[in-house]
Amino acid sequence: MSVELKTPEDIAGMRIAGRLASEVLDFIGPQVQAGITTGELDRLCHDYIVNVQRTIPAPLNYTPPGYTPYPKSICTSVNHVVCHGVPGEKRLKNGDIINIDITVIKDGYHGDTSRMFYVGAPSIQAKRLVELTYDCMWRGIRAIKPGNTLGDIGHAIQSHAERHGFSVVREFCGHGIGKKFHEDPQILHYGRPGAGMRLEPGMVFTVEPMINAGRPDIRQMADGWTIVTKDHSLSAQWEHTVLVTPDGFEVLTVSAGTPPEPATE
């Protein structure tokens, strides 16, 4: 595994790309209302990314090995959709939860982040899942410092989710990021303390746990992209891009509307 440590120039570029990605979520949040389609959310974001920010939507036509080109500029994952939901004619309704995943490219650097949104008033279970998933992401982030390991991040996430009766999706993970959308290392959202690669200053990667209200099993839909829970239970995800600093971490995907870090227990 070849992990590229970022230079000060890289880090400066990634701070800008990360802020811009987060600002797309600030922009689209007020539009997440009952009655709008996920396709309309995509069109609004695409216009903002391309014409206002003058950035590039990284998902559009992204084609990893074995996949057809991704047809949209954002991912919209509603209710039991785990990740990579393709925007279309689905109309949001009161009680839905939705993850909107944004990646933009600015001056060659990728900024990657996602947030959960409620459509109207969520159910008690949905609200609990969304809040716990946010806590899981932050527990993973707080485990980031030089000398700690990738397993420490995964363990922090997994132990918190499972202690509250939720499950962690195993098939998808966080990833290194920079001038490429997906780089080494892979950031598993489960693991053993002390296992795996040791963290070093200059590493940049995403922490993006997918947490299910039911079992962890998933399946892929016929479009070749959309992933759903096998048991149709709700799923939630949050994502930040994080830099390992000499004494800890810096979250790079921050803007005026970024939800605050949860209080520590």
pLDDT per residue as tens digits for the range 34-49 = 999 999 999 999 999 9
In a domain, 263, yes or no: no
pLDDT of 126: 98
In a domain, 192, yes or no: yes
Structure tokens at 48: 């903002």
Pick the closest to residue 138 from 240, 19, 247 (CA basis). Answer: 240
Identify the residue with better confidence: 77 or 264. Answer: 77
- Mean pLDDT (whole number) for 110-116: 98
pLDDT in tens, 53-104: 999 999 999 999 989 999 999 999 999 999 999 999 999 999 999 999 999 9
In a domain, 256, yes or no: no
> What does each C-alpha distance from 93 to 33, 119, 189 come to in angstroms?
8, 7, 30
Phi, psi of 174 (to 5 degrees): -75, 175
Q: Percent of the chain, pLDDT > 70? A: 99
Task: Identify the CATH number of the domain in which residue 243 sits.
Answer: 3.90.230.10
pLDDT of 265: 67
In angstroms, rounded to a whole number, what is the distance separating the alpha carbons of residues 19 and 154? 25
Give the residue numbers spanning the domain of 198: 8-251
In angstroms, rounded to a whole number, what is the distance separating the alpha carbons of residues 262 and 111? 22
In a domain, 260, yes or no: no
Domain count, the chain: 1
Q: Percent of the chain, pLDDT > 90? A: 98
In a domain, 184, yes or no: yes
Q: CA angle, corner 243, sides to 190 and 72, nearest 5?
A: 75
In a domain, 75, yes or no: yes
- Report whether pLDDT(120) > 80: yes
Q: Which residues pair with 174 in a beta bridge?
A: 187
pLDDT in tens, 217-227: 999 999 999 99
Identify the residue with better confidence: 158 or 265. Answer: 158
In angstroms, rounded to a whole number, what is the distance separating the alpha carbons of residues 50 and 148? 38
pLDDT of 264: 80
In a domain, 261, yes or no: no
* Mean pLDDT, the chain, whole residue set: 97
In a domain, 213, yes or no: yes
Q: CA angle, corner 106, sides to 11 and 184, nearest 5?
A: 55
pLDDT in tens, 186-206: 999 999 999 999 999 999 999
- Report whether pLDDT(21) > 70: yes
